[in-house]
Structure 1
Amino acid sequence: MNDDELWAAIDTQRVRTADLLATLTPGDWTHRSLCDGWTVRDVAAHLTLQQMTLGGALRLALKYPGSLNRMIHAAGHGKAAQPTEHLIAEIRAMVGSRRHNLGVTPRETLIDIVVHGQDIAVPIGRSLPVPPEVAAAAATRVWDSRGTRLSKVFKPTPYDGHRLIADDADWSVGAGPEVRGPVLSLLLWMTGRTVVVPQLTGI
């Protein structure tokens, strides 16, 4: 996917995520998400930070030095105190903007909205569609980033040493014992969401 296609996909997922959030009940908002230690509200709040300014990032880095994950969690929990309507409006307001956080590319922004969208939808039994080609682009970036600082924001499963093959897209990576399934499920498994294991074969 080129940059235009990436940003179009990001915008589509932002709209779909905001639309889903607008239908949630108070109980849904406090439900545990697939992201360890985070509620649905926490994840939604985190998504509003996809365009954090340099100043905002520096202030958080000074407050929580030496730990990217600690900084991410603190920022998300802080935003979660805001009203529900405010969180939804902030996600919608990002549609059409191509700004992204310092130190990442649009591909990390795509991973963020796709994976965290499922963190919200799956545990409350809701559907949040992601086209296979979009999930494949995100999965490729996760694969290419293994072993780098970017991979440390997840608690990945031990997928290295396997050959991952999508059964709904022309996508495969790696070498070794085969793991097959929908590319979105493979993406979620790669990023530590083991709830999708029943959708995969070869594990």
Structure 2
Amino acid sequence: MDIDDIWRAIDAQRTRVADLLDDLTDDEWRRPSLCAGWTVRDVAAHLTLQQVRLRDAPRVFRTLGGMNTMIREAARRRAATGSPAGLTAEIRGMIGSRRRNFGVTPYETLIDILVHGLDIAVPLGRDLVIPTDAAAVAATRMWTMRWPRPIVPRRRFAGLRLTATDVDWSVGDGTPVEAPIAGLLLLVGGRGEAALPHLTGAGAADARARLN
């Protein structure tokens, strides 16, 4: 996928996530997401903060602490001030725009919309289409990135070969662990518990043990 393809994939997934959010009940908006300590509403609010300009960063990410703390608290503040309909409208409003947060590439923007879409859909038992080609690009980015620091260090999967069953994608060397690319995206994205039911292959039990 080239950069144009990536932005088209981002737009398509923003549309799917917004459609999903439009269909949620008030109770579902309040439920826990796959992100520990984040509600579905918090995750949706985070997805509205994908075009923060450098000049606005001190206002948006004003909480003291590490990067994860600043991101979490910014999402919670946004969730507290935005209605479900308003948050969904903001996500839709980004479709067609190529603005992105300062200091990140389109690859990280793609990761955010794919993984956080799953953070919302999976715990609610909702279906969300994850395009395999885009998911493979995102998974490769997470596997190879050095900065920002990867969510799950590659050494955790030493001696295992992760292989997608629905797209041409493999990383690592060793005993095979297989899953649909969406499951592997959850795995390398630090959502191991959600990924576990999808893992098969001779190395699946080893992978499960490493995540427990």
TM-score range, shorter chain: over 0.9
Aligned to 2:199: 200
Q: Deviations over 1:107-148 (max 9, x none)?
A: 000000000000000101101101111110100000011xx3
* Residue identity opposite 2:170 in structure 1: S
Report the alpha carbon displacement of residue 69 of structure 1 after superposing the two structures with TM. 0.6
Instruction: Tell me how far apart the structure 1 counterparts of residues 158 and 91 of structure 2 sit (CA, whole Å).
Output: 33
Within 5 Å, which residues of 2 pair with 1:175-194?
A: 175-193=173-191, 194=193
Aligned to 1:117: 117
Within 5 Å, which residues of 2 pair with 1:16-165?
A: 16-60=16-60, 63-65=62-64, 67-81=66-80, 82-145=82-145, 148-151=146-149, 154=151, 158-165=156-163
- SS of equivalent residue, structure 2 residue 177: strand
* Residue identity opposite 1:185 in structure 2: G
* Contact 2:136–2:167 (Cα < 8 Å) also in 1: yes
Instruction: Tell me how far apart the structure 2 counterparts of residues 34 and 129 of structure 1 sit (CA, whole Å).
Output: 17
* Contact 1:156–1:189 (Cα < 8 Å) also in 2: no
Instruction: Tell me how far apart the structure 2 counterparts of residues 65 and 77 of structure 1 sit (CA, whole Å).
Output: 14
- SS of equivalent residue, structure 2 residue 157: coil
- SS of equivalent residue, structure 2 residue 28: helix
Runs ≥4 residues deviating over 6 A: none
Instruction: Tell me how far apart the structure 2 counterparts of residues 143 and 162 of structure 1 sit (CA, whole Å).
Output: 13
Instruction: Tell me how far apart the structure 2 counterparts of residues 133 and 90 of structure 1 sit (CA, whole Å).
Output: 26
Aligned to 2:210: none
Instruction: Tell me how far apart the structure 2 counterparts of residues 25 and 33 of structure 1 sit (CA, whole Å).
Output: 14
Instruction: Tell me how far apart the structure 2 counterparts of residues 41 and 112 of structure 1 sit (CA, whole Å).
Output: 15
CA 1:60/1:84 → structure 2, altered by over 3 Å: closer, same or farther?
A: closer
Aligned to 1:174: 172
Instruction: Tell me how far apart the structure 1 counterparts of residues 164 and 157 of structure 2 sit (CA, whole Å).
Output: 14
Report the alpha carbon displacement of residue 65 of structure 1 after superposing the two structures with TM. 4.4
Deviates more, 1:157-166 or 1:21-30: 157-166
Report the alpha carbon displacement of residue 58 of structure 1 after superposing the two structures with TM. 2.9
Instruction: Tell me how far apart the structure 2 counterparts of residues 197 and 15 of structure 1 sit (CA, whole Å).
Output: 28
Query: Scaled by the length of structure 1, what TM-score is found?
Result: 0.93
Q: Percent identity?
A: 53
Instruction: Tell me how far apart the structure 1 counterparts of residues 67 and 158 of structure 2 sit (CA, whole Å).
Output: 23
Instruction: Tell me how far apart the structure 2 counterparts of residues 176 and 74 of structure 1 sit (CA, whole Å).
Output: 40
Query: Scaled by the length of structure 2, what TM-score is found?
Result: 0.89
Number of equivalent positions? 199
Task: For structure 2, list consecutive stretches of 5 or more residues without a partner in the other structure.
Answer: 208-212
* Contact 1:159–1:190 (Cα < 8 Å) also in 2: no
Instruction: Tell me how far apart the structure 2 counterparts of residues 79 and 160 of structure 1 sit (CA, whole Å).
Output: 39
Instruction: Tell me how far apart the structure 1 counterparts of residues 8 and 71 of structure 2 sit (CA, whole Å).
Output: 25
The answer to whether the aligner puts 1:15 opposite 2:15 as a matched pair is yes
Report the alpha carbon displacement of residue 149 of structure 1 after superposing the two structures with TM. 3.6
